[in-house]
Amino acid sequence: MNHESRDIKTYQDIGKAAFGEAGFIWTLIFQNLTLFFVGTLYLILGGKNAFSLIMDWGKINPQAQTEYHIWYFITGTAVLVWPFIVGLKTMKEISWVAVFGMSATALTVVVICVSSVLSGDASRKDHVFVNAQQYPYAFSVFLFAFGGHNVFPAIQESMEKKEDYNKMMNVSFLFTLLLYLPPSIFAYLYFGSDVKSPVLVSLSGIPSQVATIAITLHIWLTIPIINNPLNLWLEEWVASLFKNSNDYHSYNLIPRILLRTLVLAIQTVIACLLPFFGDIMAFIGASTVSATIFFLPCFFYLKLKWDDIKLPEKICVFVVLLLATIGSAVGLYTAVLGLVQDVSQINYTLPDWFFYIIIGCLTYFSIVVIGVCMWKLYENHRSE
């Protein structure tokens, strides 16, 4: 089968090239779930940042803050972004937001590093440089920094020189790493175990407020971008249900507004019911994001390029899948446990030996399952 001849422009097209209609459907499901939950997460973060600014500016007594419920601010964030979500139909109309977002992120990185040095204490004794039990949770959160796989095929398709794609990706990932490492290091070095999520909550003063305003504006403007591909797909799908319309662009205005409003409303309800930024981010990272940046790409690569992959590279892919499975499974467990604690306000502690038993069992079963999957791919390839 000549996969190179296929017209591959999107992530789900790769899934279809690798595993047919089933690959297309599963890729589409994980893509849209990721977009939906990341949009929900941004509503939480935007609401929390607005909440923090109002509390700071109003000099609200911490004991009285319970009167200012966070869901008011989450709902307010949804109301603010609603006109952009329903009014801007395609990505081309809101692509300028990326420039503002990059500037806001760079400013925030500088503020976090400088404020950490000025208001923190590097001589703290509570630093832990290796924490095995927290690694799966951290792993789930790290994935957000490098989880753009859903749009990578579209980026390559839009490039004038497609042969420079690998170079562009390597530079992009390196730049992302250089942006995320300094605030992570400085915040933990100077605040230790007192550092909060999101980290801006740990800071104070005017520079911190400026960074919070910038990143909050960025979040408000980014939510329409995140929701846009999901909304477009839903509109296309709904429009296809009508016999006289096969093109979502002919889908008239009122139904489009209602559909986009419904999606935003569901996200807002979830964000208000579960306004726990850190644990929600870990949950999404360990589930849908992990699937789109580890499992799907690895299996697509193995299926499409089996003959071209040398044995050492196949072993590397196996190791990546193994580590991703363990990290995602334990990260998902940790995130769910954290959400249960958030909701019930009860702290659950597990002994260290139980944690390592879980890791051991997961490692064994992951090796077996991944090994069987790779063997099946090999057998299917031989039979083609």
Which secondary structure element, helix H or strand E, spans residue 6, and what is its range?
none
Tokens at 258, concatenated: 């209602």
Question: Residue 3 above 50 pLDDT?
Answer: no
- Residue 36: pLDDT band (50, 70, 90) is very high
Region of poorest pLDDT, from 42-56, 134-148, 216-230: 134-148
Question: Residue 265 above 90 pLDDT?
Answer: yes
- pLDDT in the model for residue 381: 78
Residue 228 is classified by DSSP as: H
When pLDDT is averaged across residues 201-214 and rounded to a whole number, the result is: 80
Q: Which residue ranges make up each domain of the chain?
A: 3-383
| pLDDT single digits (tens) 323-357 | 888 888 888 888 888 888 888 777 766 677 777 78
CA angle 306-312-313, nearest 5°? 50
- pLDDT in the model for residue 147: 78
For the chain, percent of residues with pLDDT exceeding 70: 88
| pLDDT single digits (tens) 76-98 | 999 999 998 887 766 555 556 66
- Residue of 275, 273, 294 whose CA lies nearest to 285: 294
- pLDDT in the model for residue 263: 95
Give the Cβ contact number of residue 368 at 10 Å. Answer: 10
Which are the contacts of 327, defined by CB distance < 8 A and separation ≥ 6? 135, 136, 139, 140, 286, 290
- Residue 268: pLDDT band (50, 70, 90) is very high
- Rounded Cα distance between 28 and 109, Å, is 33
Question: Residue 266 above 90 pLDDT?
Answer: yes
Please, what's the largest Cα pairwise distance for the chain?
71
- pLDDT in the model for residue 62: 52
Mean pLDDT taken over the chain: 81
What length does the chain have? 384
Q: Are 40 and 32 in contact (CB under 8 A)?
A: no
Axis crossing angle, helix 11-57 with helix 296-304, rounded to the nearest 10: 160
